[in-house]
């Protein structure tokens, strides 16, 4: 391997709503190094999500970023600029203040010179990602580290410590397009959401569509990747005008409830039917019964994303669900599993909830070829608007696989680039959709001057 070349590259993804861009950056390492040898494993993926307010045009303004570090999702904001400094804690706690580097020189012709770029820091052991270590000011731990900058070309480090390297960006679709397999020995993937690896742990490296934080409120595995607006709005408050409607999101299946009616009155004469739904959608880990409630993403009392009950519904009258639930729900297309499951019941606070379905079990729906889910045949369903008739109740809903993916796809780079150095820290200055951030009153610190690797 002495003659092998390892040009520097960072994987990326882009998702857009009406109000924000969500830019994912993912650093791959060929081994997860730790000081405890038996805890090492082949391959490692870590990274961040950068959230950009789209106004003012054309580059917008920095709102916040969330790093992934050893299974934890860590939010950061910029205390010196608005709207970032208006963001506050919710189900997650802001961990620190983001620093920026002003970049005005690029190795290729690009139209966004002269803007601030957030700086992130990657641990030498385990590659956990943070946004407030300030190594560019205080120096790398043990005076050993590499600085990566988004200068538009892919370079290879000339030495293992204290050098500056330009990296280029690689579409995460290099891996996303392989998510359906084949898996295992000799393949890049070990499963839908892991890289193949046998030494020091089996398939231990997870792709971002499986990342989860067990202590960040009602969010699901992989939402950082396939439903970032939902995750950010759950993690944080003070986001301002913040839409959940995606204009570009090629990673999610979208389900919108259009109209619902009940046909059976299962209560006594003094109380009409209180219809409600359970909705199950797959997350990046293949789970659908979330947060230990077993009720999916929508139900009558403890739904992890949305709670809804149709109180005293008149029989045979359609209820406009756009007014009742003004949002869509998002899941991920998990191989060999249905797109979603539904239950329709009559809410009863003090006794079991009667079924408003002829078959008293979750009804599962998906594409042709998905044979069974929990022993039940999956009903084939088409993309677009669909009418579901369960006799005791009915539902109109709309399904989209690719959420308004009207933008042209990025240029695909099929080459899988990687570079990892054991025993050194990394500073990565984030690029791609360069952002215009309100300039700090203090002078932005300039780094990467000289060969020291820090100022």
List, for residues 159-173, the tens digit of each pLDDT value.
667 777 888 888 999
Give the pLDDT mean for 23-40. Answer: 68
The structure tokens 């990687």 sit at 418
pLDDT higher at 440 or 105: 105
Angle among Cα 330, 336, 337 to the nearest 5 degrees reads 40
For residue 143, what pLDDT is reported? 76
Query: CATH classification of 253-400 is 1.10.1760, yes or no?
Result: no
Residues in Cβ contact with 6 at an 8 Å cutoff, skipping those fewer than 6 apart: 156, 157, 417, 418, 419
Higher pLDDT, 56 or 188: 56
Give the residue among 391, 237, 420, 373 at the shortest CA–CA distance from 316. 391
Residue spans of the domains in the chain: they are 9-244+407-429, 253-400
Q: Which residues pair with 397 in a beta bridge?
A: 257, 386
How far is it, in rounded angstroms, from Cα 347 to Cα 299? 10
Please tell me the chain's helix, strand, coil percentages from 3-state DSSP, rounded to the nearest 5: 10, 35, 55
Residue 138 near residue 452 (C-beta atoms within 8 A): no
pLDDT (tens digit per residue) in 40-62: 556 667 889 999 999 888 888 99
pLDDT value, residue 238: 97
Distant-in-sequence, close-in-space partners of 314: CB < 8 Å, separation ≥ 6: 272
Q: Is 90 exceeded by the pLDDT of residue 355? A: yes
List Cβ neighbours of 376 (8 Å cut-off, separation of 6 or more): 361, 362, 363, 364
Beta bridge partners of 52: 21, 62
CA 16, 249, 22, 447 torsion: positive or negative? negative
Task: Tell me what pLDDT residue 315 has.
Answer: 93
Nearby residues of 452 by Cβ (< 8 Å), 6 or more positions away: 162
Q: What percent of the chain stands above pLDDT 90?
A: 40
Kindly list the distances between the CA atom of residue 91 and the CA atoms of 219, 329, 415, 454, in Å, as whole numbers in the listed order. Answer: 10, 20, 38, 35
351 contacts: CB under 8 Å, gap ≥ 6: none
- What DSSP line would sit under 214-282, residue for residue? TTSSS--TTHHHH-HHHHHHHHEE---S----EEEBTT-EEEEEEEEEE----S-TTS-EEEEEEEEE-
Burial 67-94 (b: 16+ CB within 10 A, else e): bbbeebbbbbbbebbebbeebeebbbeb
Structure confidence by residue, pLDDT tens digits, 376-413:
889 999 999 999 999 999 999 999 987 754 344 433 33
3-state secondary structure of 389: strand
pTM value?
Answer: 0.84
Structure confidence at residue 5 (pLDDT):
65
**pLDDT of res. 240:** 95
């Amino acid at each position: 391997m002495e003659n092998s070349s390892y040009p520097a590259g960072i994987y990326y993804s882009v998702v857009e709503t009406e109000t924000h861009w969500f830019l994912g950056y993912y650093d791959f390492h060929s081994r997860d190094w730790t000081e405890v040898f038996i805890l090492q494993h082949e391959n490692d993926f870590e990274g961040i999500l950068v959230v950009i307010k789209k106004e003012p045009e054309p580059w917008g303004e920095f709102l916040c970023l969330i790093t992934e570090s050893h299974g934890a999702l860590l939010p950061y904001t910029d205390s010196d600029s608005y709207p970032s400094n208006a963001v506050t804690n919710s189900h997650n706690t802001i961990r620190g203040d983001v620093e920026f580097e002003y970049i005005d020189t690029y190795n290729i012709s690009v139209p966004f010179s002269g803007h601030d770029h957030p700086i992130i820091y990657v641990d030498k052991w385990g590659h956990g990602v943070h946004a407030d270590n300030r190594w560019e000011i205080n120096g790398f731990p043990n005076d050993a580290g590499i600085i990566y900058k988004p200068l538009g070309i892919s370079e290879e480090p000339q030495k293992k410590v204290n050098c500056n390297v330009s990296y280029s960006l690689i579409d995460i679709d290099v891996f996303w397009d392989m998510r359906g397999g084949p898996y295992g020995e000799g393949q890049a993937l070990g499963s839908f959401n892991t890289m193949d690896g046998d030494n020091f742990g089996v398939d231990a490296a997870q792709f971002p569509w499986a990342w989860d934080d067990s202590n960040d409120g009602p969010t699901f595995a992989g939402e950082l990747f396939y439903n970032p607006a939902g995750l950010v709005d759950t993690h944080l408050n003070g986001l301002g005008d913040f839409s959940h409607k995606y204009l570009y999101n090629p990673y999610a299946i979208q389900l919108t409830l259009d109209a619902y009616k009940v046909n059976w009155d299962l209560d006594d004469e003094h109380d009409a039917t209180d219809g409600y739904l359970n909705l199950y959608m797959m997350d990046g880990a293949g789970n659908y019964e979330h947060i230990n409630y077993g009720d999916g993403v929508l139900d009558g009392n403890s739904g992890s994303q949305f709670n809804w009950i149709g109180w005293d519904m008149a029989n045979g009258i359609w209820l406009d669900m756009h007014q009742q639930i003004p949002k869509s729900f998002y899941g991920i297309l998990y191989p060999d599993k249905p797109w979603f499951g539904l239950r329709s019941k009559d809410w009863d606070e003090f006794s079991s909830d009667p079924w408003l379905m002829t078959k008293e079990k979750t009804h599962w729906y998906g594409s042709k070829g998905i044979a069974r889910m929990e022993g039940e045949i999956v009903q084939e369903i088409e993309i677009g608007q669909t009418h579901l008739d369960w006799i005791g109740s009915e539902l109109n809903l709309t399904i989209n696989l690719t959420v308004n993916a009207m933008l042209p796809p990025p240029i695909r780079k099929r080459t899988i680039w990687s570079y990892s150095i054991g025993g050194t820290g990394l500073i990565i200055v984030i690029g791609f959709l360069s952002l215009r951030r309100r300039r700090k009153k203090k002078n932005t610190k300039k780094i990467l001057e000289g060969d020291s690797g820090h100022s």
